[in-house]
Amino acid sequence: MTTTPDTAIILGTGLGKLADEITDTICIPYKEIPNFPISTVEGHCGQLIFGKLGAKDIMAMEGRFHYYEGYSMQEVTFPIRVMYELGIKTLFVSNAAGGTNPGFEIGDLMIITDQINALPENPLRGKNFPTGPRFVDMHEAYDQQLIRQAKTIAAEKGIKVQEGVYLATQGPTYETPAEYKMFRTWGADAVGMSTVPEVIVANHCGIKCFGISVITDLGVEGKIVEVSHEEVQKAADAVQPLMAEIMREMINRA
Ligand code: HPA
């Protein structure tokens, strides 16, 4: 490998196509990496990509691991440990989420300002790894400077962005109306099934985090309709170019 990236990106929902823009690639299928779990979700292919996005050396995860697939929290976050060992300093993530903020619309992009762990477990439970302290500070789980920069980039490009708190549940069910309502009262603006474990471990490793959610459905009273994975995917695909534009520029400046 000729590159030594300090920037990693998890190509979650809404960012999959960014993989096609990476040049000078070296791809390593997860199944060839010792101890790496293998992605089971349709549409996620499962490999690490090393290469260049624009002029920047990056490492990308194509396909991520979810707790609902049956992996342990340690397995879900194992790739972050690998990133740390490879010298990654900044992590960019994307996901799809249901909006609980009544001001949100389907297709909105939400810069994640903070998170709530509503999964049944914390990935740092158990023996502490020497990458960080036993009790991890989480007062700035998402880097404030990166958030400011994203807002500037969005304004420069005329892309509408929302900001808010992302809450992760274990899934795989979408929420009942009562659950959306409860999460809203807890302070969540959007609800999804990923990201939070990875960001916890990244914080433990001293890796700066930045994330964007695509709002693919609404968990807002009066606006709740049936949700399907296909519709979530369709809503995310529609806004993918805008998400990619922000991320591409963020990574360029990282
Ligand atoms: N809830 C949980 N996860 C999701 C949702 C949702 O409404 N939309 C997309 N991912």
Q: What pLDDT does residue 151 have?
A: 97
C-beta atoms surrounding 40 within 10 Å: 14
Q: Whose CA is nearest to atom 3 of ligand 1?
A: 192
Give the E-state strand segments of 69-218 in sequence order. 90-99, 109-117, 161-168, 190-192, 208-218
Q: Tell me which residue of 210, 229, 177, 245 sits closest to 66, measured CA to CA.
A: 229
Q: How far apart are CA 176 and CA 136, in angstroms?
A: 32
Query: Is pLDDT above 70 for 43?
Result: no
Q: How far apart are CA 177 and CA 148, in angstroms?
A: 33
Question: Ligand 1: does its nearest atom lie under 6 Å from the Cβ of 227?
Answer: yes
Q: What pLDDT does residue 13 have?
A: 82
Band of residue 44 on the pLDDT scale cut at 50, 70, 90: low
Per-residue pLDDT tens over the stretch 89-130? 999 999 999 999 999 999 999 999 999 999 999 999 999 999
Q: What pLDDT does residue 12 have?
A: 84
Q: How far apart are CA 202 and CA 177, in angstroms?
A: 32
pTM: 0.94
The average confidence (pLDDT) of the chain is 92
Q: How far apart are CA 88 and CA 79, in angstroms?
A: 11
Ligand 1 pocket test: pick from 173, 194, 217, 230 the residue with the most ligand atoms within 8 Å of its Cβ.
Answer: 217
* CATH no. for 7-253: 3.40.50.1580
Supply 230's token pair.
């296909």
Question: Ligand 1: does its nearest atom lie under 6 Å from the Cβ of 39?
Answer: no
| Residue 128 Cα to ligand 1 middle (Å) | 31
Supply 135's token pair.
């009790």
Residue with the two structure tokens 């992590």: 91
Question: Ligand 1: does its nearest atom lie under 6 Å from the Cβ of 192?
Answer: yes
| Residue 75 Cα to ligand 1 middle (Å) | 22
Type of residue at 141: A
Helix/strand/coil for 172:
coil
Per-residue pLDDT tens over the stretch 171-228? 999 999 999 999 999 999 999 999 999 999 999 999 999 999 999 999 988 888 888 8
What is the average pLDDT across 10-32?
A: 89
